[in-house]
A and B are shown apart, each in its own frame.
Chain A
Amino acid sequence: MQRLPSILIAIGPLWLLWIALTGSTDPEELVAGGIVAVLVAVLAGGEPFSPASLKIFQPRRFAYALAYIPYMIWAIIVANFDVARRVIAPKMPIRPGIVTVKTKLKTPVGRLALANSITLTPGTLTVDICGDELCIHWIYVAHEDIEGATREIVEGFEKYLEVIFG
């Protein structure tokens, strides 16, 4: 029953999500949402909601998590324009390839967040993770070596994720 704490932690956010999606506080909706939240939590409640995840509410981590949102939005906007430019340009300036980068993040959830962040920014796509190495498809390979690619792709995100999930 060591999953029990994770399940209990998952119920709250899931229930709030239901309320936000239905947009009503009818008793019927609240009960239905509660039942669904418990079901989903029992079926899926695992590591992302482990008691360790509550550490996100430590002030320093929480501040970095908040700061990460605008950082991520900005990264997505810049990268979208970059890819859009490559699509439009008649000569299509692409130099695709799969490069390897290294991450300092230790926790599985932290690595998931990093891989997702990299994939969300257009131009880079996480194809696979093996241990502390990520294989990334890059639409314009600027650095073929691990160090250069890591500096270019990973370190911006890692500064934040290290604190948030570290």
Chain B
Amino acid sequence: MVHHIVGAVFVLIGALFLFLGALGIVRMPDLYNRMQTGTKATTLGNVLTMLGLGIMHPAWLLKLTLIALFVLFTNPISSHALARAAHRVGVPMTPLTVKDTLKDKKPVVKEAEV
């Protein structure tokens, strides 16, 4: 019984982080900052949810660990690919932006080449 409660608490905290990620998507001013919260404030949310489920059902723990690992390995790749593609086609950054060293480094790709 106790492990169910402990597991549920972990799932709840995980859900809270997922909610904050969603809230960030609404509140943040541009695509890049939305990605910061939307794709990544959720890493801990995901892992905590898996951990909570693993505590509730210890038999699933190995598989859940593997799923969490897959998320941890693939999440940065997709975040990076999205951000890079967005920057290359020139998705504008918020006026709050203080610096953009990537823009100075490479000319933005022309529409036709994309």
Contacts and interface: CB of A to CB of B under 8 A. Distances in A.
A106 B35 CA distance: 28
B77 interface: yes
A98 B99 contact: yes
Interface of A: 17, 20-21, 23, 76-77, 80, 83-84, 87-88, 92, 94-100, 115-117, 119-123, 125-128, 130, 135, 137, 139, 141, 144
Interface in B87-106: 87, 93-94, 96-103, 105-106
Interface residue tally of chain B, by bracket? 35 or more
User: Which has the most chain A C-beta neighbours within 10 Å: B35, B37, B75, B102?
Assistant: B102
Contacts of B35: 125, 137
B67 to A, nearest CB: 9
Contacts of A125: 32, 35-36, 40, 79-80, 83
User: What is the predominant secondary structure among interface residues of chain B facing chain A?
Assistant: helix
Contact of A122 (B43, B87, B102): B43
A116 B41 contact: no
Given A92-B27, A125-B79, A126-B80, A141 B99 contact: yes
B6 interface: no
User: What is the predominant secondary structure among interface residues of chain A facing chain B?
Assistant: mixed
Contacts of A96: 30, 32-33, 36, 93-94, 96-98
Contacts of A97: 97-100
User: Which has the most chain B C-beta neighbours within 10 Å: A83, A95, A97, A127?
Assistant: A127
Contacts of A20: 62-63, 66
A120 B43 contact: yes
Contacts of A92: 27-28
A87 B20 contact: yes
A122 B41 contact: yes
Contacts of B32: 96, 125, 137
A135 B83 CA distance: 11
